[in-house]
Structure 1
Amino acid sequence: MTTHGTPRPAPPAAPGTTRRTLLAAGTAAAALPLALGTPARAAAPAAAPAQGAEAAGDAAALRDRWHTLLTGGPGLDRTDPGIAAAVARIGRAGTTAATGLDPGRTDGLWPDLTSTTLSNHVTTSFKRLATLATAWAVEGTPQYADPAVADLLLRSVDWMLDHRYGPGHTRFDNDWDWEIGSALALNDTAVLLGDALGAARLDRVTAAVRHYTPDPNLWRADRQIATGANRVWICTVVAVNAVLRDAGDDLGRVRDALSDVEGGGADSVLAFTDTAGAAGTGEGFSSDGSFLQHYKHPYNGGYGKELLTNLSRLLRLLAGTPWTVTDPDLDNVVRWVEDGFDPLIVRGDVMASVCGREIARPSKQGHASAQTVTEAVLRLIPAFPGATADRFTALVKQWITEDTYRDFLAVTDLASLAAARQVLASPVPARGRLVGHRQYPGMDKAAHHRPSFALGLSAYSTRIYNYESIQNENLHGWRLSDGMVLLYTDDLGHYSEDYWPTVDPNRLPGTTALARRPADAAGQRTTSTADWAGGTALPGTTLGAYGMELRAHGSSLRALKSWFCLDDVVVCLGSGITAGPDTAGAVVETTVENRKLRDPAAALTVDGVVAPAQAGWSAALDGVRWLHLDGTGGYVFPRTAGLRAVREERTATWREINLKYGTDTPVTRPYLTLWQDHGETPGGAGYYWLQAPAASAEKTRQWADAPPVRLLADTEAVHAVERCADGLLAANFWTAGTVRDLTCDGPASVLVRRDPGGTVTLAVSDPTQLRDRVLLDLDGPRLRAARGSDVRTQRVAGATRITVDTAGLRGATRTLTLTRS
């Protein structure tokens, strides 16, 4: 994984006494000696978790801690069927890793890992050695303590040090492999082999790792600032290397690097990136739960999960020692879990819109990313005792039990298995299915959770990149942020089992796009020229308005797109769809659905008539009022619509979307695709439908006869709907405009709910993130804000004018409660 670097900003001059300067002063005041057994100072641990009776600073004890993380430790009941199955799994993995291993070769340890231009061959070699070393170190495997296996491992480590890795070897390709990937695996192998490695070989190993990764603050050959997940990876490499060398000074540097003491906190991985005075690259977690890496790529489910899992390991390693992390910002980790991961996980699957280029890796299918998050939170539970530990326990118990697609207990490592067993046996009840609506203005994403489904919305803007395709990965990610709608139902494997290579990448659900195939990786790492992306939500409900102004990359295609999430109904609305002469020859399409079918013959009902179910069927559907797809849900078109439909068996290889990690084996999956054709060079086209996920065919028909939502506006000034049951108004203002009883002075997203007793609740945001205030005029009786509120109201011509301050909110919602005067 490549990333970028940024010149180190100069520390602020005379900043005054702050938490950062206190941390720095404490570090400078007492340099740690080289021996772990004689620390010069011990920072007072803040709520440090107990990790056993080892003496702080005991190098052997710290090596044992890391060994336990890798193997589960010595106290496991190996007669337990679950433990026995995990041990057998480790043994099988070791056997696979040893297949073809030959340190007598001259071109590589394995015949498929001989490249001297692809650095991932180096990392993969070390990972296979670590896998075999794990099998050798875990009691009960066929390889356990086998002298022949140890000899094979030692000769193989020597081969890598002689021929590929360390001083005297020229690095090539990707810095990540040399400084992080290979180093992590080699460190683990050294810990697992322990005394069998020998002192001289241990010196060679630690010197090789330090050659590439000497500083927890810096990385890459030109010594750039490490940020986000890369910084935590680098810190992990340095920390384990320090334990192997008995070097306490470097553990102190690791602790301080997490807070970026050297840089005055500018690139602290623990601080929120949007806090006052944040001066770093902006990579990491912001206070709304968004996570960015590589400057502007949403990455909670990629780099974010790697940051969390490696930080959880480091906290376990350092807890209760003189190098315990005591930064007050460590408490932010709780919000990362609860705001930055929980709403983006659906029954064991992390929403693909925040997984970056990892969706194009076959190894990341099948809920693998959520497994990593779950393992990390299991490790964090001891670090946050009390109420937080109980909440984490309830959360992990929910995640494990509700994922019936991937059995966590059957795939996780031994240490996490033991911890998970404790959680499942805990009297703390599972949290329960998540129900809520969450928006992420820090990365132009939203998540809508109801009891029977979840929906993920993906946009981009001037602030956020569209998609990432580097290292020849994710080559067809063109539409991932063009209004993609990801629907999660009880088909838990929908986005697994080869979805991403086989889906039509130009017709992702919800997107408006030219029916023209771009070149591989075209337009990746591009921001939009439009600022409007985001929305507003009513706290404590599943009511939200979301939208984006789409300005397509590489063409004149434009569209205004809104989604009004009103509990079990999602209004999909588009207007102003235009495209100029540069798009001639390609029609513009809005994709209603593109579903990989769990049942290839799943019935599609169109206005009460079941369509043919055989592969190869296609049709032009005119005057459609409603559709229902078994296993997916319903679609209502209050204004009858013309649709195109096709059932097809789609065949592809993973190599087509990932040259680096893809495979050449063809895979075939069944799909049903529905879309609206706006024609070539449309001028002001639009669409309007109600999506009813998980609804029955009968419920869909009922809503077609009596829609639960009334369309109020779909102009180029405003999109707005009214819920018939209670009059709730949801509106996205693209410019100043009026709809029903509400007038707005410019871009804004607004929800208005009139409550019993005359109270009015408003939720307001500025999705452009450029406005200092939003002015709203609400017709009707005079309203006033609660006493002490900073909301200003005044009477103007039969309406109440409400001034909402939005400066500094970065697109977040402000919720206001007004009462009659």
Structure 2
Amino acid sequence: MTRILLIILLCLGGDELRANPDLETIRNRFVAELMAPTLDESSVRKILSEQQADGTWPDINYQDVSRTGFEHGTHLSRMVELSRAYKKEGNTYYDSKVVKTAIYKALDYWLANDFICDNWWWNQIGTPDRMVQTFLIFDDELSATQKEKARPIITRANINAWGARPGGDRIKIAGIQGRYALFLRDSEMLDEAVGVIIEEIKTSEGRGLQVDMSFHHRHDRVNNTLSYGKGYADAFADWAVKLKGTKYRIPEKRLALLIDYYLDGICQMMPYGKYPDPGAKNRSVSRKGTLGSYDTDTPEKLSSVTDYRSDELENIIAVRKGATSPARAANRFFWHSEYFSHQRPDFFTSARMYSRRNHSMEEPYNSEGLKNHHLGEGSNFISRTGTEYQDIFPVLDWHKIPGTTVIQNDRLPDPDEIQKKGLSDFVGGVSNGTYGAAAFDFISPYDPLQAKKAWFMFDREFVCLGAGITARGSAPVVTTLNQCHLRGDVVVHNAEGTLSLPRGTHDLKRVEWVLHDSIAYFLQAPATVQVSNETATGSWWGISHQSTTSREALQMPVFKLWVDHGSRPGNESYAYTVLPAVDEKTAADYQRDPQVEILSNTPDLQAVRHQGLQLIQAVFYKSGTLSLGDKLQVRMDGPGMIMLQLAGGKINEISVADPSRKFRTMRFDISAPVITDHPKVRTDRNTSKGKTTFTIELPQDGYAGQSVTFGVQ
């Protein structure tokens, strides 16, 4: 009976088309996109020559359906490629009976076996997606029997499926259902799928898009903006283009939200909006090529359907194509994901943190990312080109992630210990959109180790402070300034002069600054540092146990720079300034005239003043007073972060934030008679004492942790 109903439905396709011409328009757009890429005839030739009589290929393990295996996706991809060859005019295999027979054999073999993977993703997304691609291309060349047998396989992707949870996978599953509806010419099914897609473009307090423009795929609140969150944006942009000009078109408000997310979320976690920041990645760092440049497909699609923020989208497109140089200057703290980014035209840096509100890192699902234990513990990656860390992860020293303070144990904990919830509430950032600072009251979930870590961001440089570093155990504790590809000489300056280091590992005394690959690292005071500029070894298999992962031994020249705090440190500290985009002469000049002054670096207060910018940034871990000279003081009544912008020696803008997210108001005094008209700020001026008391209503609920910025006079 089911077969008869299916045949009747297909026969009614002409009536459906007449009733809903938009459906065929949308369908034709999807097919055109599938057919657009150039066909590699040599690849098709190889696929045909190696296919066996039963429709299989000898290089695929059809028995392994485990989470780390399931090479069956290659079988499905070859079906798609053969379908393109058969339908694409102007190539050798167009309308070829040999190709048609090969497609039938491959499809019938799959339909007869209906392979189920231990990883649900293949069953509800991967397999249906590739199957629908083949069906849309091959279309009326399929038999009624093939269509009937494929239905239960394809319809595992449906909006009521287990995997169609709010967030990144729901929109993908709805998209597969929508494309299957196009194949069937089923308006009712298409209506349902498009409705789900449109509804998914919203902010959420759970899975999905957050109000700070970051993305959470799961309830662990791990930052997934550049993985599932990118797929979410890509899928929506794809449907926005396909539905343009039809009755199904995406509402403008939904498009605007998606573009805000793309520009203020995704692109803010990427050097120049082009390369993904390793600090915003998870287990995908164990996949070769994961840090390659993003293409222009999604921003081009978004700019084609609306004029909203089109200039910014066009700039991203131009930067990715190499048609223009980056010019963006932005600073952003994502309070839901506890990730902090800072972009300038010639460098990008970030800080990744976590608290009791969040987990540190994605679990090593499917045996990927097996050494990511410390990647979320204050990692501070620095990019000039965006390629400094590409594919370095097989040889990485995972105890020395850039920016982290870690006990150098002999081995990492087991992979099932990677995801940890934070042990501190005081984790956050203050930002006015251009400048900002981040603070991390770090308590290690693995070792008896704690430290107060902070980052202060400016135009040319940024400052990294650590205080209260305390640990137990015999293994030394180190803070890593950087670990990246070794490119060129490593130049070190100390009291004796400047020298280029030979290859090797070096223990250097009274170092004032180190320069490598156009990035200079200035120590607050002459200090002992360790430098390694030699070849490191490893393999992709060391960090990922997928069945297709290479076990080949790799060697790469690597630069490492770190400070050793020794074993059992008690209240140790570090302080250094990073100055990107410089040469040896510029570094020497900067040393003679540094623009930043470290005002305090204690477990209670970390603060920095930038002389040229007249900018002061401070982290109060408890109530206290910061003296700024010229009788100017700031006294905080409790913990919090503050940033003061001065002009002509007078304060003209203040930004504050509550990293703990515990308070409804923040109260502090400034020894200056100033006022503001900000509706969330109350000022009480005491002219006799020459001070002003500020009481700020802090953002609450989903906005707790967001900065408040206001002008004063």
TM-score, with length taken from structure 1: 0.79
Q: Please, which of 370, 380, 383 is the counterpart of residue 485 of structure 1?
A: 380
Indicate the residue corresponding to 2:303 in structure 1: 381
Work out whether 1:362 is the aligned partner of 2:288. Answer: yes
Distance 1:613 1:457 in 2: 31
Work out whether 1:644 is the aligned partner of 2:530. Answer: yes
Over 3 Å counting, the alpha-carbon distance change for 1:135 and 1:536 in structure 2 is farther
Q: Please, which of 539, 548, 554 is the counterpart of residue 653 of structure 1?
A: 539
Work out whether 1:783 is the aligned partner of 2:674. Answer: yes
Distance 1:563 1:546 in 2: 5
Deviation at 1:133, TM superposition (A): 2.6
Work out whether 1:395 is the aligned partner of 2:316. Answer: yes
Indicate the residue corresponding to 1:464 in structure 2: 358
Indicate the residue corresponding to 2:683 in structure 1: 793
- Asked if the contact 2:60/2:74 (under 8 Å) is kept, the reply is no
Indicate the residue corresponding to 2:486 in structure 1: 597
- Asked if the contact 2:279/2:380 (under 8 Å) is kept, the reply is no
Query: Which letter maps to 2:690?
Result: G
What SS is found at the alignment partner of 1:590? strand
- Asked if the contact 1:97/1:129 (under 8 Å) is kept, the reply is no
Instruction: Note the alpha carbon deviations across 1:270-295, whole angstroms, 9 max, x for none.
Output: 11125xxxxxxx12222322111122
- Asked if the contact 1:604/1:610 (under 8 Å) is kept, the reply is yes
Deviation at 1:758, TM superposition (A): 4.2
327-336 or 664-673, which deviates more: 327-336
Distance 1:678 1:184 in 2: 52
Indicate the residue corresponding to 2:30 in structure 1: 66
Distance 1:358 1:502 in 2: 15
- Asked if the contact 1:478/1:523 (under 8 Å) is kept, the reply is yes
Instruction: Note the alpha carbon deviations across 1:694-750, whole angstroms, 9 max, x for none.
Output: 222222222323322111111111100112235421101111111111111222121
- Asked if the contact 1:711/1:722 (under 8 Å) is kept, the reply is yes
What SS is found at the alignment partner of 1:257? helix
What SS is found at the alignment partner of 1:662? coil
Deviation at 1:58, TM superposition (A): 5.4
- Asked if the contact 2:175/2:197 (under 8 Å) is kept, the reply is no
Work out whether 1:188 is the aligned partner of 2:133. Answer: yes
Q: Please, which of 754, 770, 774 is the counterpart of residue 666 of structure 2?
A: 774
Distance 1:246 1:364 in 2: 37
Where does structure 1 lack aligned partners over 5 or more consecutive residues? 1-32, 41-53, 73-85, 166-170, 260-267, 275-281, 403-429
Work out whether 1:159 is the aligned partner of 2:53. Answer: no
Over 3 Å counting, the alpha-carbon distance change for 1:131 and 1:480 in structure 2 is farther
Indicate the residue corresponding to 2:167 in structure 1: 228
Deviation at 1:103, TM superposition (A): 4.8
Deviation at 1:92, TM superposition (A): 4.6
Q: Please, which of 224, 247, 253 is the counterpart of residue 192 of structure 2?
A: 253
- Asked if the contact 1:534/1:547 (under 8 Å) is kept, the reply is yes
Deviation at 1:594, TM superposition (A): 1.2
Query: Which letter maps to 2:477?
Result: V
1:118-157 map, 5 Å:
118=66, 120-157=70-107
Deviation at 1:520, TM superposition (A): 4.1
Indicate the residue corresponding to 1:283 in structure 2: 207
Identity fraction in percent = 22
Indicate the residue corresponding to 1:25 in structure 2: none
Deviation at 1:195, TM superposition (A): 2.1
Distance 1:98 1:476 in 2: 40
What SS is found at the alignment partner of 1:133? helix
Query: Which letter maps to 1:247?
Result: D
Work out whether 1:713 is the aligned partner of 2:600. Answer: yes
Over 3 Å counting, the alpha-carbon distance change for 1:60 and 1:204 in structure 2 is farther
Indicate the residue corresponding to 1:739 in structure 2: 626
Instruction: Note the alpha carbon deviations across 1:526-547, whole angstroms, 9 max, x for none.
Output: 22011222211233x3x21112
What SS is found at the alignment partner of 2:506? strand
179-188 or 526-535, which deviates more: 526-535
Distance 1:98 1:525 in 2: 45
- Asked if the contact 2:75/2:106 (under 8 Å) is kept, the reply is no
Distance 1:153 1:234 in 2: 25
Where does structure 2 lack aligned partners over 5 or more consecutive residues? 1-9, 628-632
Over 3 Å counting, the alpha-carbon distance change for 1:227 and 1:99 in structure 2 is farther
What SS is found at the alignment partner of 1:362? coil
Distance 1:465 1:132 in 2: 44
Work out whether 1:509 is the aligned partner of 2:433. Answer: no
Query: Which letter maps to 2:347?
Result: F
- Asked if the contact 1:766/1:811 (under 8 Å) is kept, the reply is yes
Q: Please, which of 220, 227, 231 is the counterpart of residue 302 of structure 1?
A: 227
Over 3 Å counting, the alpha-carbon distance change for 1:104 and 1:449 in structure 2 is same
Over 3 Å counting, the alpha-carbon distance change for 1:98 and 1:785 in structure 2 is farther
Deviation at 1:269, TM superposition (A): 2.3
Distance 1:725 1:318 in 2: 51
Indicate the residue corresponding to 1:114 in structure 2: 62
Distance 1:594 1:693 in 2: 15
Deviation at 1:610, TM superposition (A): 1.8
Over 3 Å counting, the alpha-carbon distance change for 1:96 and 1:588 in structure 2 is farther
1:440-455 map, 5 Å:
440-455=334-349
Distance 1:99 1:148 in 2: 11
692-701 or 58-67, which deviates more: 58-67
- Asked if the contact 1:87/1:138 (under 8 Å) is kept, the reply is no
Over 3 Å counting, the alpha-carbon distance change for 1:724 and 1:538 in structure 2 is same
1:742-761 map, 5 Å:
742-756=634-648, 758-761=650-653
250-259 or 554-563, which deviates more: 250-259
Over 3 Å counting, the alpha-carbon distance change for 1:612 and 1:327 in structure 2 is closer
Deviation at 1:141, TM superposition (A): 4.2
What SS is found at the alignment partner of 2:202? coil
Indicate the residue corresponding to 2:694 in structure 1: 802
Work out whether 1:523 is the aligned partner of 2:417. Answer: yes
Deviation at 1:447, TM superposition (A): 1.5
Deviation at 1:461, TM superposition (A): 1.4
Work out whether 1:87 is the aligned partner of 2:26. Answer: no
Over 3 Å counting, the alpha-carbon distance change for 1:99 and 1:610 in structure 2 is farther
Indicate the residue corresponding to 1:269 in structure 2: 200
Q: Please, which of 518, 533, 551 is the counterpart of residue 664 of structure 1?
A: 551
- Asked if the contact 1:37/1:58 (under 8 Å) is kept, the reply is no
Instruction: Note the alpha carbon deviations across 1:750-809, whole angstroms, 9 max, x for none.
Output: 1111224845211111122222111121112x11112x6331011354321111111313
Instruction: Note the alpha carbon deviations across 1:112-132, whole angstroms, 9 max, x for none.
Output: 332343263233321232233
Distance 1:700 1:676 in 2: 20
Query: Which letter maps to 2:443?
Result: R
Query: Which letter maps to 2:65?
Result: T
Query: Which letter maps to 1:816?
Result: F
Distance 1:234 1:725 in 2: 53
Distance 1:338 1:606 in 2: 40
Query: Which letter maps to 1:248?
Result: S
Over 3 Å counting, the alpha-carbon distance change for 1:672 and 1:759 in structure 2 is closer
What SS is found at the alignment partner of 2:415? coil
Instruction: Note the alpha carbon deviations across 1:324-343, whole angstroms, 9 max, x for none.
Output: 44484343112012111222
Indicate the residue corresponding to 2:266 in structure 1: 341
Distance 1:751 1:97 in 2: 62
Over 3 Å counting, the alpha-carbon distance change for 1:652 and 1:162 in structure 2 is same
Query: Which letter maps to 1:690?
Result: T
Query: Which letter maps to 1:622?
Result: K
Over 3 Å counting, the alpha-carbon distance change for 1:233 and 1:93 in structure 2 is farther
Indicate the residue corresponding to 1:7 in structure 2: none
